[in-house]
Chains A and B, each alone.
Chain A
């Protein structure tokens, strides 16, 4: 598995938590996170590039959480199967599987463009977090 820095893992956890608590959404928080990233990253690098990046992130995350085998990346870059993914009730699953998937995705972006640009691109997808100042300032480079 690609080693994801603790700071990037914290960022992944933060945006997942934000989506989980966002009012008016019943969707899976990982789905919400990936959809927002899909919009921004597809605009930046093209839908194919985003899809292949997400697929790679999923492959890496499955090594830690085999339950993620239930999840798939659709040709258009959307995630499917998250609704079948338990929340720590099945073997190999844990509450962190979603966090690992998102961490891997952000970690891959970081591998290519560096931490600063990855954070900038990611947080552009969550202007609410930036506006609320909910992230420690040192995390916004």
Chain B
């Protein structure tokens, strides 16, 4: 610490009580700051304010909540007490409500200010809320200019700061006002709530437009309002955490011995492996065996499924002799079924990351990316690729090894790696595809890339049997295998393929 650092006044950061918000704020709300919570009607401003209030208020430093001409107080209390954070026993002790409608209707800002100052003087609050501050301004007498308004806000800010209160003005504002509204000039912090409607889905978001004195996390962050109040899903997904550095990562067996051989020993720990292929190629099955092998070795796993229910997934695994019900019961396996159709990537990742931390998962399967995309609200699909990048980064940062499956539309002229152009976010890529040989539609698997390590470059035929995926010998003597319609390498060579004879499972 240098001398300059030692001389700095420490600014205490107050926890907001809103999951995820403190991370976005850079550690919490600066004490004694003067803030605005802005947004459109229904965006969650009042709920956010109440949540912060109940998190921070104490009998010694209570919160004063001034209501003006917005939602009637009784109705506000009626609705807010439905949230779990609303502790009725703290009303009128730690949390006090004061109605200013009479003073506001007089249209004189000085009267409003005098009342606020008087109440603040009596209560010695640590937190002050004015809801809705917009209505205070709207009730002012005609002729009041920006200069008068700015003067009022400055006096209000000065009084409340001098009284050592952290203040929140709550109001309905539109984005266009951001540039020249005098309220925003004076405030230290500006929290902007919005909701976006697209087709049948509604997505709520929060943005820290401004926060003096500390570095907040930029961008729009998804929020969800549940019975517990607001929850914020930071876009960083906990990006402050450092990825574990593995000098010589071990290889994780996929549970399919021959596949491990193609990968030259398995998937490097901490890698993200993408399996791309058409419907029915067996992509999900590879993921299932990967998880099963982990469970066998005592490594907890997570499967994020989007296209079938957990019960169906467990039943399907059982058909291959894999018991997923027991590890599910024992907390070793979590099947996360995500299909509400208005999810954000941030929420999905939050769910998965929380589960990884909770059960200490080492292996994660995302089955499938197409299902994941479909589960998202339409407004998030546009950013799917970028979101996916952040998600994979967040998960690999935790040290887990990921298999994602991606369905591709099979073309018989070329071999796409996925429909999402997302192969850049996978260290390792495996492609499964159909090939037409001797009047039969057969299956072929190849390792396309493994970042930083060697792998087989052979194209192998495989079959899906009752025992799972059975990988055969490399396909020799063909050209154009990757197109799906191979021809003979030369006319003399036979086109007849050998059916795999090995049963190389390690189970």
A→B interface (CB under 8 Å): 42-49, 53, 109, 112-114, 116-117, 120-121, 124, 141
Contact = CB atoms under 8 A, between A and B. Distances in A.
Contacts of B97: 43-45
B75 A112 contact: yes
A42 B91 contact: no
Contacts of B81: 113-114, 117
Contacts of A48: 101-102
Contacts of A49: 72-74, 99, 101
B78 interface: yes
Interface string B96-131: 011111100000000000000000000000000000
B386 to A, nearest CB: 45
10 contacts: A45-B74, A45-B97, A46-B67, A46-B73, A46-B102, A47-B102, A49-B73, A113-B74, A120-B88, A121-B91
A117 B87 CA distance: 10
CB-CB nearest 5 A-B residue pairs: A46-B99, A45-B73, A46-B101, A112-B74, A113-B77
A121 B92 contact: yes
Q: Which residue, A117, A120, A121, has most C-beta atoms of chain B within 10 A? A: A117
Nearest to B104: A46
Interface of B: 67, 72-75, 77-78, 81, 88-89, 91-92, 97-102
B77 A112 contact: yes
Contacts of B101: 46-49
Nearest to A113: B77
B266 to A, nearest CB: 59
A47 B91 CA distance: 20
Nearest to B97: A44
Contacts of A117: 77, 81, 88, 91
Contacts of B77: 112-113, 117
Given A48-B102, A112-B77, A120-B89, 11 more contacts: A42-B99, A42-B102, A43-B97, A46-B73, A49-B73, A109-B74, A113-B78, A114-B78, A116-B88, A121-B92, A141-B89
A29 B352 CA distance: 62
A112 B92 contact: no
Nearest to A116: B88
A45 B72 contact: yes
Contacts of A114: 78, 81, 88
Contacts of B74: 45, 49, 53, 109, 112-113
Nearest to A108: B74
A53 B73 CA distance: 12
A44 B100 CA distance: 9
A48 B68 CA distance: 12
Given A49-B72, A114-B88, A120-B92, A44 B78 contact: no
B59 to A, nearest CB: 13
A45 B78 contact: no
A114 B79 CA distance: 11
A47 B81 CA distance: 22
A44 B99 contact: yes
A113 B81 CA distance: 8
A75 to B, nearest CB: 12
Contacts of A120: 88-89, 91-92
Contacts of A112: 74-75, 77-78
A109 B88 CA distance: 14
Contacts of B78: 112-114
Contacts of B72: 45-46, 49
A21 to B, nearest CB: 25
A87 B470 CA distance: 96
A113 to B, nearest CB: 5
Nearest to A45: B73
A45 B150 CA distance: 28
Nearest to B98: A43
A141 to B, nearest CB: 8
B459 to A, nearest CB: 69
Contacts of B75: 112
B88 A44 contact: no
A44 to B, nearest CB: 5
B121 to A, nearest CB: 15
Nearest to B72: A49
Contacts of A42: 99, 102
Contacts of A45: 67, 72-74, 97, 99
A43 B91 CA distance: 14
A131 B339 CA distance: 55
A118 to B, nearest CB: 10
A10 to B, nearest CB: 20
B65 to A, nearest CB: 10
Contacts of B102: 42, 46-48
A44 B73 contact: yes
A42 B73 CA distance: 10
B346 to A, nearest CB: 34
Contacts of A109: 74
A124 B73 contact: no
A117 B92 CA distance: 10
A116 B77 CA distance: 12
A47 B115 CA distance: 15
A101 to B, nearest CB: 19
A123 to B, nearest CB: 9
